[in-house]
Amino acid sequence: MSITTCCPKSTTLASAVTVLYPCPQEFGQIQKLIFWRRGNKIASLATALISTTWTTLLTATGATKALVAGFTIGKITPGDPREAGGGNETKDGIPVVIGNNPSTAEFMLIQQDQDVIKQLKKLQCESLDVIPVNENGQFMYADTLFGGIATGFYGFPVAGLSIGDLETGDFDGKDQNKLKFFLPANWSNDAEISAATSWALTLINS
């Protein structure tokens, strides 16, 4: 995604840090991934923090169904800046930053029954959003529709999803399957972290 040209510029620089000692934000280890079809949402964070909301989504038989990928090990790595020029092509040899590459999400599904993997591979044909869950049972979600202004509890847009074949373990290893996808540049601009729950990590498919 290219950087939007800021013209005309605002009268002054927008304030960022407005508290001397702001509360730190840390999501930590992602342990579960929840997928649903692009465009789905929950009306509010308060509704998303009610366990029966997810019971309804996980048992749905239509387009609103949510799907839990099981326990995962991995992380999301941000994309590098996209640069043009450098050397004698630009002033002082400094490249022009024209945007950012997508972020890469790579996870391992550990010792999963391959019947489960077979079902997960069907997601590769879908247009999906993802909602990560951390070790505290907290959701990472978007409070604004990506690229829009509607508010609610949204997932993040997934592209290039792949579910790998079985990687067998050895004497010091374990069986695992790689789950990989990409998130567009600026995907985390509207990212928020919910309060901890005692049940989010216990969600399973119906």
Inform me whether the pLDDT recorded for 5 exceeds 80: no
Choose among 143, 126, 125: nearest CA to 192: 143
Query: What is the distance between the alpha carbons of residues 49 and 46, in angstroms, rounded to a whole number?
Result: 5
Inform me whether the pLDDT recorded for 1 exceeds 70: no
Q: pLDDT digit string (tens) for 57-83?
A: 999 999 999 999 989 999 999 999 999
Q: What is residue 183's predicted lDDT score, i.e. its pLDDT?
A: 98
Q: What is residue 206's predicted lDDT score, i.e. its pLDDT?
A: 82
Q: What's the pTM?
A: 0.90
Q: What is residue 156's predicted lDDT score, i.e. its pLDDT?
A: 97
